[in-house]
Amino acid sequence: MHPSSKHAALAGAVLAMLTACGGSNNTNGFLPIAAPPPASNPPAPAPATVDVKLIAFNDLHGNLEPPKLSITAPAKAGGTVAVPAGGAAYLASAIADLKAKNPNNAVVSAGDMIGASPLVSALFLDESTIEAVNAMKIDFNAVGNHEFDKGQTELLRMKNGGCAKNTALEPCRVNKSFPGANFGFLAANTVKGDGNTLFPATGMKTFTKDGATVKVAFIGMTLKGTPNIVTPAGVAGLSFKDEADTANALIPQLKAQGADAVVVVIHEGGTTTVGYNDKSCAGLSGDILPILDKLDASVDIVISGHTHRSYVCDYGKTNPAKPFLLTSAGQYGTLLTDINLTIDTRTRKVTAKAADNVIVQGEAYTSGATTVALTDQYPTFGKNQEVAALISQYLTIAGPLVQRVVGSLTATATRTQTASKESVLGNLIADAQLAATSPVGKGAAQIAFMNPGGVRADLAPAGDGSVTYGQIFAVQPFGNSLVVKTMTGAQIKAVLEQQFNSGANTAAAPKVLLPSKGLTYSYSLSAPAGSRISGLSLNGTAMVDATTYRVTMNSFLATGGDNFTVFNQGTDSLGGDQDVDALEAYIKAGSPLAPPATDRLTVLP
C-alpha cells in the first residue's frame, strides 16, 4: 500500500473512534486534554500559641459615683503622684479599652460587688449596681461575703431578677422589671443542704485564633469564714467549704472538659508593704497564703479580693512549688487588673503570664481642703454614656433624700480607732441606738453595742455644721434594725470576751464592740483567754453576773454576726427602728451635737 493510503486509513480509524466516543463535535479531530486542577495553597498551620486577656476587679461595693479616692503612683520625674480614680462610668470605659486590645478576653469580679454600698446603690437594694455592671458586659462574679448581707433569697434575686420583697426596703423603685445579672455568679464552696452549690461552681470560656481553640476555666469562691462575718440568718442552711480543697477537687473535672488554663477567682486576700503595681510583692501576708500553699500547682492565676488591697505577685518566688500569679485590684473600682496569658496550642499549657494594675482615672475631685487633679502621667478614661445615664437616673430619684439636712455636729466624728479600739463615731452610734431604745418604762434598754465593721464612713459636717441624710446613710448602709434583749451580767461579760476571738480576729487584733455611754470596763490582751475583761460597770456601779440587763444591738449582732454568738443567748427580744433612723433622730434631737469622747474602755498591760 502506498504510504499516503496508510495515513488515510489511520485517520479514518481515529475519526471512527472519536465518533464512537461522542467526540464528533471536536473539529480538530483529536481527543480533548483535561486541564490540570488549579494549584491550591496548603492550609496555614494553626498558630502555636493563643494570647488571652483577663480583666479583673474586686470589692466594688456599689461605688457607682467616683469615691473621691486617689492612687499613689510613681511619677515620671521621680517621687509619686496622686491619681484620682474610680467611678462606674469610667470603669466601664476602662474595661472596654482593655477589651479592644485583644478580642480573646474575659472579665471577672472577685466578690463584694454589692453590699456595704453608698446610698445611690444601697437605697435601691443594689439594683443600680447590677444594672451598671450588666452594661460593662462582664463574664463572672465570684460571690463575696457582702453579697449575703441581705440574705441568700435576696442574693438569688440579684442574679435572677424580679421584684419580690425580701427586705425592709422596697425593690424595683426605679426599674419596675429588674432584670437581674446578665453575667454568671460562681460559688464553688457555698453548698446547700441538698449538696448542690448555691450558684454554679465553675465557668468556662473558649477562645479561637486562626483555627486554633483554647479554653480557660474559672473557679469562683468566697472565704470559708463567711458565716462568721455576716448575719447568720442570711446564710442559714448553707455551708462554706475549704477553699483549696474545693478547687483541687474541681480541677480534674475541668481538665477533662478541655481546660487549658485554670483561674481561681476567690474572695479572700492578703496585704503587701509595697505599691499598687510593684511586682516585688514585698511583705505579702494574710489569709490567702495558707490557701495558696494547699492549692493544686496546676492552677495558673489566682484573682483575689476581700482585703481591699492591690498587688501583683509571682507567688512562685515565695513558694517555688506553687507558681501562681496572684492579683488583687484594690477597692471601689479604682483599679483594674490587666492579665495576659499565652497558651501553647500543642502542649495545652500556659507558657507565659503577666499582669498590671491599671488606674481607672476619670475625673478630678475635692475632699475637704484637698484637690486631686487629673494627671497626664497616666491614661484618662472617658465616661461610658450608658452607665452614666443609668447612674444619673438613680441619683435624680435619690437626690432630695440625700441632700436633706438631718441636724448638725460641732466637729467631725471619725471611725478612726484609738489605742483602746474605740472610735468617736462608733461611740456616737451606740449612744444613738441606746437613746432610740430606752424610753421610760418596762424593758427599756440600759446598754447598747455597735460592731466596728458596721461603721463605713466618717461623719464630717459642712462648714455650717450641717449633716445630711446621705452622709449618715453612708455611715450605716446595711439597713439593720435595732433589737433589745435581756442578758445577764455574765452573758455580757462573755460577749466581751468574744471580742478576742471573733471571726478571724485574735487577742492580737481584737474586734472591739463600741459601747454606749455609761458602760465602762478594762481589758488586758496579755491575760488568759476568758479573763481579759475586768472592772465592768454601768453608770459607775459594778455589774453583777446574776443580774439581768436590757441590751441593744443591731440585727446583725442579734443573730450572732461577727461570731458574737453569745448574743443569741439573750431573751425577750424586742424589735426597734432602723439603725440609720435612730442615728438621724439622735443627731436632730441634740443639734448642735458634740461628738462623744473615747474614754469608755481602758487597756491594761
Q: Residue 170 — very low, low, confident or very high, per pLDDT cuts 50/70/90?
A: very high
178 has pLDDT over 70: yes
CATH code at position 582: 3.90.780.10
586 has pLDDT over 70: yes
pLDDT: is 480 or 194 the higher one? 194
Whether residues 374 and 420 share a domain: the answer is no
Whether residues 197 and 224 share a domain: the answer is yes
Computed over every residue of the chain, the mean pLDDT equals 91
C-alpha cell at 195: 449538696
Query: What local confidence, expressed as pLDDT, does residue 145 receive?
Result: 93
What mean pLDDT comes out for the span 8-22? 44
Find the DSSP H helices in 170-298. 243-256, 288-294
CB of 532 closer than 8 Å to CB of 500: yes
What mean pLDDT comes out for the span 301-323? 96
Range in 28-32, 91-95, 350-354, 368-372 with the lowest mean pLDDT: 28-32
In a domain, 56, yes or no: yes
In a domain, 482, yes or no: yes
CA distances from residue 521 to 412, 427, 546, 566 in whole angstroms, order as listed = 26, 14, 18, 18
Q: Where are the beta strands (DSSP E) in 86-201?
A: 105-109, 140-142, 184-186, 190-191
Whether residues 586 and 560 share a domain: the answer is yes
In a domain, 9, yes or no: no
Per DSSP bridges, beta strands 261-267 and 301-303 are parallel
Query: What local confidence, expressed as pLDDT, does residue 35 receive?
Result: 63
Whether residues 239 and 373 share a domain: the answer is yes
Q: Residue 141 — very low, low, confident or very high, per pLDDT cuts 50/70/90?
A: very high
CA distance 35 to 394: 72
In a domain, 343, yes or no: yes
pLDDT tens profile 40-67: 677 778 899 999 999 999 999 999 999 9
Q: Residue 367 — very low, low, confident or very high, per pLDDT cuts 50/70/90?
A: confident
Quickly tell me which residue has 462575718 as its cell. 229
Q: What phi, psi does 15 have (nearest 5°)?
A: -65, -40
What mean pLDDT comes out for the span 387-395? 97
Burial state string for 297-333 with b = 16 or more CB within 10 A and e = fewer than 16: ebbbbbbbbbbbbbbbbbbeeeeeebbbbbbbbbbbb
pTM: 0.81
CB of 330 closer than 8 Å to CB of 311: no
CA distances from residue 32 to 26, 160, 576 in whole angstroms, order as listed = 8, 71, 102
Whether residues 380 and 424 share a domain: the answer is no
Range in 100-109, 117-126, 291-300, 487-496 with the lowest mean pLDDT: 117-126
Whether residues 452 and 331 share a domain: the answer is no
Our measurement of the distance from residue 501's CA atom to the centroid of its chain's CA atoms, rounded to an integer in Å, reads: 25
What mean pLDDT comes out for the span 213-221? 98
15 has pLDDT over 70: no
In a domain, 148, yes or no: yes
280 has pLDDT over 90: yes
CB of 466 closer than 8 Å to CB of 419: no
32 has pLDDT over 50: yes
In a domain, 3, yes or no: no
pLDDT tens profile 465-478: 999 999 999 999 88
Whether residues 409 and 337 share a domain: the answer is no
Whether residues 62 and 205 share a domain: the answer is yes
Whether residues 386 and 480 share a domain: the answer is no
13 has pLDDT over 80: no
**Residue that is last in its domain, among 370, 394, 418:** 394
What mean pLDDT comes out for the span 319-329? 97
Whether residues 351 and 448 share a domain: the answer is no
**Residue that is last in its domain, among 394, 429, 457:** 394
CA distance 561 to 185: 24
Whether residues 380 and 514 share a domain: the answer is no
Query: What local confidence, expressed as pLDDT, does residue 310 receive?
Result: 98
440 has pLDDT over 60: no
513 has pLDDT over 60: yes
CB of 83 closer than 8 Å to CB of 378: yes
Q: Residue 8 — very low, low, confident or very high, per pLDDT cuts 50/70/90?
A: very low
Count: domains in the chain: 2
Peptide bond before residue 290 is cis, with ω within 30 degrees of 0: no
Query: What local confidence, expressed as pLDDT, does residue 231 receive?
Result: 76
**Residue that is last in its domain, among 369, 394, 419:** 394
Q: Residue 502 — very low, low, confident or very high, per pLDDT cuts 50/70/90?
A: low
In a domain, 31, yes or no: no
CATH code at position 58: 3.60.21.10
CA distance 545 to 559: 22
What mean pLDDT comes out for the span 117-133? 94
Range of the domain at 143: 51-394
What are residue 273's DSSP bridge partners? none
Query: What local confidence, expressed as pLDDT, does residue 21 receive?
Result: 42
Whether residues 522 and 381 share a domain: the answer is no
DSSP state, 497?
H
Query: What local confidence, expressed as pLDDT, does residue 7 receive?
Result: 46
16 has pLDDT over 60: no
In a domain, 455, yes or no: yes
